Amino acid sequence: MKTSSVAFASYLIWGLAWGHYDFPALINNGAVTTNWEYVRQWTGYNTFVPVENVSSLDIRCNVDGSTVSAPGTLSIAAGTELGFTILPQVEHPGPMAVYMARVPESSTATSWDGSGQVWFKIMESGATNNANPLNWAYLGQNKVNFTLPAALPSGQYLVRVESIGLHQAQTVGGAQFYLSCGQVEVTGGGNGNPEPLVAFPGAYQPTDPGILIDIWNPSTTSYNPPGPPVWQGY
């Protein structure tokens, strides 16, 4: 077998047999864009390996995702539908969330690192029931989409999508964070004041009830996602 075939075979084993996944492309009002054109191609993306340390910089935009740029910044109108593709699909039970952070005037979406208390949540999908087993809307899905709030001020933003795999979350550091950051320029925006604002790392603690949880225990019949509440859009 040639070396390249071996590498490809191991890629398949890591990507599929281990049940890992990532978010390579933005979806612009239903139109899938090119992989890694608007999403930062973090180091190790082709291994699909999740982040497990919520205190590390990797929790912001994945490994090297604060300093790596995507080539493009997607122009998209406030109040319309943005999304991410999921490759190959969400493989683990757990919640989905989307955060955004406004790029400072002095910087650009391609060069900003996303540091500071700047991130607000615009979408959250927790358990869809209050019973064991808990059910998850995105398990098995290969895309996630959401409405950009109409009140979102115009300007450049980083958009951070996150799926948390809770299958081994019964031990500290066992929850698996699958995440990517996209680069967008919001047009036709409003005068909203996005809040509350959090930092990554900082927003999560390893012992948050939505991160340290035994979903396999029959007495677990509810779920409380980590992080701030969703911005109400005004």
Ligand X SMILES: *[C@@H]1O[C@H](CO)[C@@H](O)[C@H](O)[C@H]1NC(C)=O
Chain residues in the site for ligand X (CB under 6 A): 53, 55-56, 81, 145-147, 173
Stretch in the footprint of Cu ion (CB under 5 A) among 17-25, 99-107, 123-131, 190-198: 17-25
What sign does the CA torsion over 21, 27, 30, 32 have? Answer: negative
- Report the distance separating Cα 70 and Cα 65, nearest Å: 9
147 binds, among ligand X, Cu ion, none (CB under 5 to 8 A by kind): ligand X
Residue 15 or 194: which CB sits closer to Cu ion?
15
- Report the distance separating Cα 96 and Cα 90, nearest Å: 10
67 binds, among ligand X, Cu ion, none (CB under 5 to 8 A by kind): none
Q: Is 19 in the site for Cu ion (CB under 5 A)?
A: yes
Q: Is 20 in the site for Cu ion (CB under 5 A)?
A: yes
Tell me the H-state helices in 34-183: 58-61
Tokens of 93: 């039970």
How far, in Å, are 105, 145, 199, 203 from residue 115 at the CA level?
14, 25, 7, 12
Longest dimension (CA), the chain: 59
Residue 147 or 220: which CB sits closer to ligand X?
147
Give one DSSP letter per residue of 36-54, joined into a string.
TTSB---TTGGGTPPB--T
For residue 52, the minimal CB distance to ligand X (Å) is 8
20 binds, among ligand X, Cu ion, none (CB under 5 to 8 A by kind): Cu ion
Residue 91 or 149: which CB sits closer to Cu ion?
91
Residue 81 or 185: which CB sits closer to ligand X?
81
The footprint of Cu ion (CB under 5 A) covers 19-20
